[in-house]
Structure 1
Amino acid sequence: MTSVTEETTAPVLAAAAAAAAGLTQKRVPIPPRGVDYRGKIVLAPMVRSGELPSRLLALHYGADLVWGPETIDRAMIGTTRRVNPRNHCIEWTRVPTNNVKKELFDESVIYRIDPVREAGRHIFQIGTSDPARAVECAKLVAADVSGIDVNAGCPKPFSTHAGMGAALLRTPEKLVSILEALVAEIKPAFDIGISVKIRLLETTAETEALVRRLCATGITGLTIHCRTTPMRPRERAIRGQLRMIADVCHEFGVACLVNGDVEGRDHALELMAEYGTDGAMIATCAEKNGSCFRAKADGGLATWEEAVAKYVRFAMEVENKFHNTKFMLTQMVPGKSPKYRELTPCKSYGKIIEVLGLTGDEELVEMARRTDELMKLVTLDGSSSSSSGNDKSKVEAAGDDKKKHDLTNNVAQQENLKRKREDGDEETEKQQPPPSMRINVSEAGEAATTAAATSVAEQQSSQPVAAAVAAL
């Protein structure tokens, strides 16, 4: 369901942005298979929170475009592209590097897209610090997506320690060379545009100089996260430089999207009109409830119960890894709800359906049963599912490792609650972890170390026995 048709919104919003900027906008040509970011309200790239079911939920409620989660170039290079015969999703897979998972499963899904429901609306974001690797990675997916975006804004150590993400803001020459390489080799070969997502620099002059250099590379879009690299999410976005950034982008004909504390479609339109940006990107609010993309005139924000029910269905349709689904439910279900605590011990889709009170939908119950069997999750009665696709010894090995995975998962959920409290989530401030999550730190030490050492490629894997969800 879309709130307003693209045909009507794009010209109107683009004109409004141009009028607000006081400019007759120059426009860079959009490649035949690419998309124009002007007039678009889009889903931000979010590790774990931006997996396929989250993107489908955002599109269902009216998102114009969706960014996939940042995917490290090294994680994609060496993968094999395949089409899942059950749901027809396109998947890029590789043999797991984690020993436990390697014993259990032949392949891990590193990236997954829905070629029908995401057609013409999916942007792939690369985490990279090298032009050659960026091009090699982009070539693997460019034929199946509508744009390639470079992450130059993530401040998290897993990205910056390797010179990626926000670290590229300190090495503008490298960032420029990456964009130039992608524009030269990917744009003409695959007929899609190249874009970049950045953060503010310390001074207006520094930000302006960087934006000018980036726009001169031939990109079609630039997203500005209105925070500096050291800023925490709980700190309010800074919009003092936004008008200038939009104006510079318009000089080059590049679309400018605003990111940071964008609360929904209506708020996004207000920001676009006020600051002259061409579009807006939503992150945190979309993580909590994907219906934020729906305008108030079209129904506005859906109840969390409605959004969660739709999300779970999407998750099962695309065979989303169970631990990622449960992580997302902890973001979407309010901490004060009794169902939040009931979800914590769930180890199967069938149990989740039961906890959410969706057992009256026979189709959904049957879908959960099939998904649990496929993923080797426990059934509602607590027994192991059929071992179809893996021999009995592998399933038994999974059972032997269950306690370790449960412990790691509990550590991750505690860290998630801690992150919410640090980021100023008032509801979480008052929330205490349920008894099932309270574990001794010394007991959890080994599991926490293991979770911290898990590679980004394995975090993004779509197999059911997944590494712990570590809060970013």
Structure 2
Amino acid sequence: MEYRNKLVLAPMVRVGTLPFRLLSAEYGADITYGEEIIDHKLIKCERRVNDVLGSIDVVEKGTEAVVFRTCDEEKSRVVFQMGTSDPVRALTAAQIVCRDVAAVDINMGCPKAFSISGGMGAALLTKPELIHDILTTLKRNLDIPVTCKIRLLKSSKDTIELARRIEKTGVSALAVHGRRVADRPRDPANWNEIADVVAALSIPVIANGDVFEYEDFQRIKEATGASSVMVARGALWNASVFSSEGKLPRDDVKKQYVRKCILWDNDIRSTKHTLKEMIACHASLGLPEGTAVIKSETHADIARHYDEEKYYASVTQSRLFCRDR
């Protein structure tokens, strides 16, 4: 996979499932990251071909829960992001998905207590030897690109030192979120320190932080010198941020998202979570739309609210036909 001059959908928990990745790609995203999956969970799974949906499912044995779903359409651009703190476990997990994705990425930036307490995410930032072991193990044993995503460290010097050590492992690219672990989303991203990392490395750097409009892609590239740009909240609030023709109305984007969730039989909890985030960025969840989404228990309920009953019926009928064949 080529990491230069790309628009990238950032990994987002409970959001970055197949429907949202396909939606973002439809609007112009060149690379789409899946939501972070923890290695412990992945190694309890098996790969299955879903002939009814036309997808590849990674299913947890015993519970039958779909942990990761992908399809041929996105194989050349989807990046599987993993949470891990152990090189052997990371490789075992990556080998389950490696034939169906374009690259594997290691999360080294998540500041959530769950990740840090498990030695994953941002906890890795202070363990350069472990980072080296994880990345080199994956690089030696996988035939697809390996990357990672970090946050800024306490000083620009520390970030550069870590980035250089990561580069020496042979990774194909490095994504840098321009905030420190203690920073909150409302704190401005530090593009200057991303620029320092870019200047110190020869591999592509993907800049992440405070991209909300299509014009921001060029602004952050010019400010940092980064090869590519990654967007999270800007895409969540309106996935058509990737379109060079300008954003579409939010209502249109939500309808397209709902259709993709129905088509790919998305986890209803993920669908509801993403729709609530889309709504909350511009309106109260206490208004009729938010209330309807919150009360929905199935995609049939969601379809009813967004006037997609005919589409839901058509997809359901087609699925029943496939199962009966």
Taking the TM superposition and a 5 Å limit, the aligned residue runs for 1:390-401 are: none
Distance 1:293 1:122 in 2: 16
- What is the aligned partner in structure 1 of residue 145 from structure 2? 193
Taking the TM superposition and a 5 Å limit, the aligned residue runs for 1:10-409 are: 35-96=1-62, 102=63, 107-115=64-72, 117-186=73-142, 190=143, 192-250=144-202, 254-295=203-244, 298=245, 300-333=246-279, 334-336=282-284, 338-359=288-309, 362-367=310-315
**1:51 Cα shift?**
1.0
Distance 1:264 1:63 in 2: 13
**1:290 Cα shift?**
1.0
DSSP-derived class of the 2:301 partner:
helix
Q: Cα gap change, 1:68/1:170 in structure 2, threshold over 3 Å: closer, same or farther?
A: same
Amino acid in the other structure paired with 2:173: G
Structure 1: runs of 5+ lacking an equivalent: 1-34, 97-101, 375-387, 390-472
Runs of 4+ in 1 over 4 A off after TM superposition: 368-371
Distance 1:342 1:93 in 2: 30
Distance 2:243 2:71 in 1: 21
DSSP-derived class of the 1:42 partner:
strand
Higher-Rg structure is 1
Amino acid in the other structure paired with 2:136: E
Distance 1:177 1:108 in 2: 31
Count the aligned residue pairs: 319
Q: Percent identity?
A: 34
Q: TM-score, normalised by structure 2?
A: 0.93
Amino acid in the other structure paired with 2:97: V
Distance 2:53 2:109 in 1: 33
Does the CA contact (< 8 Å) of 1:350 and 1:369 recur in 2? Answer: no
What do residues 362-399 of structure 1 show as CA deviations (whole Å, max 9, x unaligned)?
3344336788x99xxxxxxxxxxxxx99xxxxxxxxxx
What do residues 382-435 of structure 1 show as CA deviations (whole Å, max 9, x unaligned)?
xxxxxx99xxxxxxxxxxxxxxxxxxxxxxxxxxxxxxxxxxxxxxxxxxxxxx
Does the CA contact (< 8 Å) of 1:350 and 1:368 recur in 2? Answer: no
Does the CA contact (< 8 Å) of 1:264 and 1:282 recur in 2? Answer: no
Distance 2:276 2:69 in 1: 22
Does the CA contact (< 8 Å) of 2:259 and 2:311 recur in 1? Answer: no
Q: Cα gap change, 1:284/1:369 in structure 2, threshold over 3 Å: closer, same or farther?
A: farther
Does the CA contact (< 8 Å) of 1:264 and 1:294 recur in 2? Answer: no
**1:358 Cα shift?**
3.4
Amino acid in the other structure paired with 2:243: R
Does the CA contact (< 8 Å) of 1:291 and 1:302 recur in 2? Answer: yes
Does the CA contact (< 8 Å) of 1:131 and 1:177 recur in 2? Answer: yes
Amino acid in the other structure paired with 2:145: G
Q: Give the strand-richer structure, 1 or 2.
A: 2
Distance 1:368 1:346 in 2: 18
Does the CA contact (< 8 Å) of 2:207 and 2:224 recur in 1? Answer: no
**1:143 Cα shift?**
1.2
What do residues 267-319 of structure 1 show as CA deviations (whole Å, max 9, x unaligned)?
11221122210000000111122111112xx2x11111111111111111111
Amino acid in the other structure paired with 2:296: C
Distance 1:319 1:343 in 2: 17
Q: TM-score, normalised by structure 1?
A: 0.65
Distance 2:251 2:312 in 1: 15
Distance 1:153 1:131 in 2: 17
Does the CA contact (< 8 Å) of 2:136 and 2:169 recur in 1? Answer: yes
DSSP-derived class of the 2:295 partner:
coil
**1:124 Cα shift?**
0.8
Amino acid in the other structure paired with 1:234: R
